[in-house]
Structure 1
Amino acid sequence: MFSAYNYPSSSSSVEFYRGPVLRSLSDNLSEYFEDALIVTQKNGEKAGLIVAIGEAAKVAKELKLDLSALKKNMDLLMPAFFDTHFHWVQDDVRQMPKVSLIEWLERYTFPEEAKYSDHKFSSVKAKRFWKRILSVGTIGGLCYSSIHEVALKEAFKYAPEDFNIGNVLMTMNCPEDIRQSPQRACASVDNCAKRYKSRYVCSPRFAPTTCPEAMQASALAAARHDCFQQTHLGETKNEIQWVLEIYAKIKGFEGVKTYTEIYERVKMLGPKTIFGHCIYLAESEWKLLADSGSRIASCPSSNAPVDQLGIGSGLFDFEKAESMGVPWALASDIGGGPFLSMFDVMRSFVLQNREIGRHSATFTKALHRTTFKGAELMDLSADRGMLEVGYYLDAIRVPMPPGLPARANGEMALEALIRLMPNRESSDTFVNETIIRGKSCFNKEAVV
């Protein structure tokens, strides 16, 4: 439906997009327009801001436009993605054999991350990766780098501005070539937070590999420089057993009963902390997350069974998170996740939940949790993450599913879109164009 707005009166100050549009409005509502018209501001600091959107005929009538003069695009336009948990330095190990989390980390991931100590290697990889992420329609997110500040510098050099990134802190129980001393880790997180400010994410890898001193330094740096924090929590049962065994021997933590309690003691809980996974949590842990305002990034394609190219961790209980009032969004978690595309994440989320009879996991919900809710997790949702008046035009152009009825609802359109991909691999090459704030930043037709 068309929403009223104080739109500019001169057509030279606006831009128009006409064609099929699919948008997300909530967990329970997505809309499909067979012929929509989007009007955005063209110039100035508000360039790309949506001032009108809805059925083309209605919008044109309201604005007194000659609709016949506006060419209709044949592709489908839909909101661009936000990925709230991924490791850019693991792009080359996404599809390495996965038997268990710890085995996969030790055999493939840690050796791969060690390569990022080299400036030239990091630069080549960063230039390629940050182009590629735009090509799958992801325009913002929260990202882990390796321990190396040189790799972090290269990531910030090439990453679009709505990606926040942090170098992981690792001080124990990991290979020597990717291990920091506690003093080095504490200095690194403080220096990087000063240098990159709010785009930096203080990132203790997780409690088994990061000493309490470094996690406390991370929490202090985040508070001092208004940064997000991110880490991992409750991904596998073996991980939980391992971390509790480790901390039972650390002074001041002998009485710890849960994984989350460790993060509470080092002051990491809070509304600007995003915990990855959170599959296995006790009731007391859910309460700690809820009471502190902490947030969750759920990674279904990474946590999926091994025969689905995941690590086999289990399935996040999003209904429990919602009942406790804990904010959450979907994420790819590459390289645990096998594909960078959030289309694959959406598919995995819906299919895994359907298998256990959790039918509230719809494609409509998946779209909302990879767009608006991802932006919301990053405190960007005031004007990002939704195709609606007052929001910026952050969108992707994808192939139009053939034979889709003009009066199809949003869920039908989404299912048809997912079915259009012949296999999971094709999700990484499905997007024809990516648009940020009304400006094209990737166009498949322009790629030589």
Structure 2
Amino acid sequence: MNSTTDDTYAIAIVGGVYRERCMRPAWQEVYGSAGRAASAMASMGVSVELYTYYDSITEPVLISRAAIEGFKFSGESIPKSIIFDYDHGLATPRIYSFGSRQSSLRVQAEQVLRFGMLEGSATVHGKRVVYDPQSPAKPEPFRQNGSTADELALILNYREARLLSGGVSTSADLIAKSLVLDGHAQVVVIKCGPLGALVHDGKSTDLVPAYRSRSVWKIGSGDNFAAHFALRWMEEGKSAAESADLASRATAYYCQSKGFAIPEIFESFTPEAIVPSEAFRNGRRPVVYLAGPFFTLAQLWIVEQARKDLTDMGLEVFSPYHDVGCGSAEDVVMLDLAGIERADIIFAIGDGMDSGTIYEIGYARAKVKPVIVYCENESQENKKMMQGSSCLMCDDYVSAIYHAVWTACSL
């Protein structure tokens, strides 16, 4: 498919539209990176044209959404769209792909936001282009498929940036400078989790903070960041650093609301910036004590999930199940308490009100250590002592993990 954007539309968005399912919190929608970006920009009052692959299920959703939200939709029909199936927002999704790789979408426009895709590729030609490869394992260089841009901004996570730079350094700053010097782009934005985002435009390097939200809906948060960055940098002509900061704020709104900001709401939304400690910035890994029962398969599953997710986000995890094991009181209690003494924070799994977990929470609070409690199914009465002793209570797993990381990185 070859297309030239209608001049009445300010930005062309090219990328995947996928079916998304999540077990907890329950979620079943049609979005994908490009579909979500189109809704995010349209909500901010920008005229956009979406180019994507679609099937008989996603097409009517896109037609209705485009009519309601005010964007234009076109693309190429395929037998069946890809499905992303998550256990929760931090889980690696099961990806159900159907059929062979499709012929490339081809789009020419003044301003383009391009996303990497699984089912095909997109060759784009534009004056100003923002590119998010969306592939932590094997990001495709922008120009590899013949795409061109007078000015190009790359939106990358740290792993993508390292791979595209050829592993030139472990420093995000040096990686960004290398990508610009080697001609990959004029602007490089590297997302670094709680450290925020590093922005390099060939002249200066800026650090933009991540922002707190009361809850965290993670699925699609990166799509939202790319959309808001593209809107500010391409359509409004703001600097790369200011565009990234506004995108970071908009992402906090998305994570908190599961929705898309409109200008009036965005102007009044004032999230708190996450301020990592100097020690964390210099590589210190805070220690989190993982408290929770581990006597059934279900309990062990959530302990394993929490240990993996906390570790993946840069914390050192002390887990009694993994680091002490089962045994008599004489065998394990003093070792567990020593683990609490050493820890910076405690992440507690509260459902079931396990007596050992409750004791560990009380012991930690007596030591004035921050405690984050993930608890979905207990009564207010059962949670009273934890709430009253200034534990941070979360009834959503992903939100609890993020609050633990934000708390730890500030110490």
Q: TM-score range by the shorter chain?
A: 0.3 to 0.5
